[in-house]
Amino acid sequence: MCGIVGYIGNRQAQDVLINCLTRLEYRGYDSCGLAVSGSSLEVYKDAVRVNELAGAAPQLEGTAGIGHTRWATCGPPSQLNAHPHLDCRGRIAVVHNGIIYNFDRLKQELLAEGHNFAAEVDTEVLPHLIEKYYRGNLEEAVAAALHRVEGSYAIIVLKADEPELVVARKGSPLVIGLGDRENFIASDVVALLDYSDRVIYLEEGDIGVINKIDIKIKRNGADVLRKEHKILWTVAEAQKAGYEHFMLKEIHEQPKVIRDALGGYSQAAEPLVELAGAGGTDIDSLLILACGTSYYAGMVGKYIMEELLAIPVRVELASEFSYQGQVRAGTAAIVISQSGETADTLGATRRLKEKGCPVSAITNVMGSTISRLADRTVYTRAGPEISVASTKSFIAQLVVLYWLALSYSKVDIRRLADLVMAIRQLPSKVQQVLDKEDAIRRCGQFLSGYENVFFIGRGINHPVALEGALKLKEIAYIHAEGYAAGELKHGPFALLGSDTPVIALVVRDNTYEAVLNNIREIRARGSPVIAVVGQGDEATIGQLADWVITVPRVEALFSPIVNSVVLQLLAYYTARERGCPIDFPRNLAKSVTVE
Ligand code: F6R
């Protein structure tokens, strides 16, 4: 959700900024821009992707600069609305990630005072406010301006003739990469991997002044020290490694991702985190909160936890919980977020904390805001996920949920041993699904000709159907709906016909016969059926379905893993056949840092 970067040092800033922005593009890609300070402050921006901007921009001379890649919230994508934004005299440039709620009021005030505005975006009030309060000290002017602002922000400010950048954060992430006589700033560490593996995370309310040697951070006017962290991700992990798209690379990484996610937990079912209710009480229920794909991981988690822990589990959309969610004593909460920066999930986490509910976070990003808000954090260890559509982080979230449930399991010791053995076989089972890529690709080619698709599953595979539909929508632009298989006849049957394929997840558990009946009912309405089935069932189900995709047989509890990988590949090859921009789907951004 908008990526911002900054550089100050001895190199030409433009080259560094372009490279960092390229790595941050998954946060937004409807427009982008740069400001570089040398003998003067120069700005170049446009409603284009970063590589086009890099090709078109003149050389902006200077060793300090800021850059932005945008995901529009306020004002449509356009050259004028692209960041950086400037004050009246073109001497103060600002890049911003976040939202300024009171910008209209501030803009009216500034207009009445004679400031000139060029764009339609909230951010533009910032350089003008800084200009208004500037009395020879940029940091003080930024602090005074931010004092007037309601909303969320991560900003970097550059002023002509001043050898420093001023940064600030409230509600949006910002990280400083440390170099040798140079410093880097970015919305997240992926942008910095080429330059530094030592970072400082800014905390809420921090304002920093950064030159090429020094970093000074203040909070509420007082100096504060922020710890240096070592980044474990590598540049290679953030590259395509010969794959056509990051999404395909990340799908193929999943056997390793499962191994890595399990790697730290080699002893049978050792607890990952301590789950406790308010005040350390024993837990009698769980509450899981998340958004999007992470929410579907949470829904799978409900089935896993209820089966293995035998306690009730509630799963809610973090974006809805903020309005009226209630929590009982004895409830432990788990929040799930790949990025650790999703505004709705952070909002729900804060609300849980206000209610005195202990919160455990499952996230992929070290140093993310959620890891600092939660009482305990479990990392999914999936490595950087660049594709906007989540794949490997979903699988890693499931693995963590399985292991968490196993470590608290109430099942007998033999069943537990069987489950631990089965989870350790998952990497090879997923590899077997990947080996079927060609068959799935052909099925994707078939699916690409349709505009409406249903996904059905029952029990633990109901959320997998929802996730499969989400993947198809977001990258192939096909209207897709996930349904609990039994619910189709309560309305959606009206939409079935030869132009509406249905993808059915068939698993050998207590849902098996019911799903077969559902397939018969669907076929009777003329819809083509694609069935995802366990090995051994292909012959029986082949008589009912038009397409059969076989997955290796796994313990039913783990079927979401193999089934999800099929649906990821299916979405990928459908989107590829339709010529969609797979890694950067329209209107989306990876990290949704606004509510
Ligand atoms: C879909 C997708 C999104 C995210 C959602 C939450 O492929 O990636 O639905 O899952 O925006 O993001 P995180 O997990 O970062 O909180």
Residue 528: its pLDDT value, please? 97
Specify the range with the lowest mean pLDDT, choosing from 24-28, 180-184, 185-189, 539-543.
Answer: 24-28
* Euclidean distance between CA atoms 334 and 352, whole angstroms: 10
In this structure, are 589 and 533 located in the same domain? Answer: yes
Specify the range with the lowest mean pLDDT, choosing from 201-210, 409-418, 430-439.
Answer: 409-418
State the DSSP code for 202: P
Instruction: Residue 326: count other Cβ atoms within 10 Å of its Cβ.
Output: 9
Q: How confident is the model at residue 423 (pLDDT cuts 50, 70, 90)?
A: very high
Q: How confident is the model at residue 266 (pLDDT cuts 50, 70, 90)?
A: low
* Euclidean distance between CA atoms 263 and 272, whole angstroms: 12
Is residue 353 scored above 70 in pLDDT?
Answer: yes
Among 197, 231, 265, residue at a domain's last position: 231
Let me know how long the chain is: 595
Note whether 26 and 386 are within 8 A (CB).
yes
Tokens read off for 278: 């308010």
Tell whether ligand 1 has an atom less than 6 A from the beta carbon of residue 73.
Answer: no
Tokens 């799903």, residue?
A: 515
Which ranges of 187-310 would DSSP assign to H, the alpha helix?
246-252, 254-263, 292-309
Residue 588: its pLDDT value, please? 82
In this structure, are 330 and 215 located in the same domain? Answer: no
Helix (H, G, I), strand (E, B) or coil at 82: coil
Q: What is the mean pLDDT of residues 392-403?
A: 96
* CATH number of the domain bearing residue 16: 3.60.20.10
Q: What is the mean pLDDT of residues 137-142?
A: 97
Which stretch of DSSP H or E encloses residue 371?
A: helix 369-373
Among 424, 456, 481, residue at a domain's last position: 424
Whole-number average pLDDT of the chain: 93
Q: What is the mean pLDDT of residues 163-172?
A: 94
The pLDDT > 90 percentage for the chain reads: 82
In this structure, are 151 and 298 located in the same domain? Answer: no
Tell whether ligand 1 has an atom less than 6 A from the beta carbon of residue 294.
Answer: yes
Domain count, the chain: 3
Tell whether ligand 1 has an atom less than 6 A from the beta carbon of residue 339.
Answer: yes
Residue 408: its pLDDT value, please? 85
In this structure, are 48 and 195 located in the same domain? Answer: yes
Tokens 């919305």, residue?
A: 187
Q: What is the mean pLDDT of residues 357-373?
A: 93
Backbone angles phi, psi at 42, to 5 degrees: -115, 140
Q: What is the mean pLDDT of residues 517-527?
A: 95
Among 424, 443, 467, residue at a domain's last position: 424
Distance 316 CA to ligand 1 centre (A): 14
417 to 149, 268, 269: CA distances (angstroms): 56, 8, 9
Nearest CA to ligand 1 atom 3: 292
Residue 265: its pLDDT value, please? 59
Helix (H, G, I), strand (E, B) or coil at 389: coil
CA angle 165, 169, 172 (to 5 degrees): 125
Select from 253, 576, 575, 566 the least CA-distant residue to 440: 566
In this structure, are 458 and 476 located in the same domain? Answer: yes
Q: How far out from the chain centre does Cα 412 lie?
A: 37
Tokens read off for 362: 């499952």
Distance 1 CA to ligand 1 centre (A): 12
* Euclidean distance between CA atoms 54 and 18, whole angstroms: 7
pLDDT tens-place string over residues 327-351: 888 889 999 999 999 999 999 999 9
DSSP string, 552-565: ----GGGHHHHHHH
Q: How confident is the model at residue 281 (pLDDT cuts 50, 70, 90)?
A: low
Is residue 270 scored above 70 in pLDDT?
Answer: no
* Euclidean distance between CA atoms 350 and 352, whole angstroms: 5
Tokens 């990484």, residue?
A: 253
Q: Where does residue 174 fall: left (phi above 0), alpha (psi -120 to 50 degrees), or beta otherwise? A: beta
Which atom of ligand 1 is nearest to 393's Cα?
Answer: 14
145 to 106, 148, 342: CA distances (angstroms): 10, 5, 26
Distance 451 CA to ligand 1 centre (A): 24
What range does the domain containing 88 cover? Answer: 3-231
CA angle 452, 454, 456 (to 5 degrees): 175
* CATH number of the domain bearing residue 258: 3.40.50.10490
pLDDT tens-place string over residues 43-88: 999 999 999 999 999 999 999 999 999 988 888 889 999 999 999 9
Helix (H, G, I), strand (E, B) or coil at 223: strand
Residue 277: its pLDDT value, please? 62
* Euclidean distance between CA atoms 405 and 411, whole angstroms: 10
* Euclidean distance between CA atoms 572 and 570, whole angstroms: 5
Is residue 269 scored above 90 in pLDDT?
Answer: no
* Euclidean distance between CA atoms 80 and 66, whole angstroms: 17
- Burial of residue 86 (CB within 10 Å: 0-12, 13-18, 19+) is buried
In this structure, are 217 and 249 located in the same domain? Answer: no
Select from 520, 524, 513, 525 the least CA-distant residue to 459: 513
Distance 206 CA to ligand 1 centre (A): 27
Is residue 514 scored above 80 in pLDDT?
Answer: yes
Is residue 537 scored above 60 in pLDDT?
Answer: yes
In this structure, are 194 and 265 located in the same domain? Answer: no
Is residue 498 scored above 90 in pLDDT?
Answer: yes
In this structure, are 408 and 313 located in the same domain? Answer: yes
DSSP string, 278-309: GGGPPPSEEEEEE-HHHHHHHHHHHHHHHHHH
Is residue 29 scored above 90 in pLDDT?
Answer: no
Which residue has better confidence, 265 or 399?
399
In this structure, are 307 and 434 located in the same domain? Answer: no
Note if 443 is an active site residue.
no
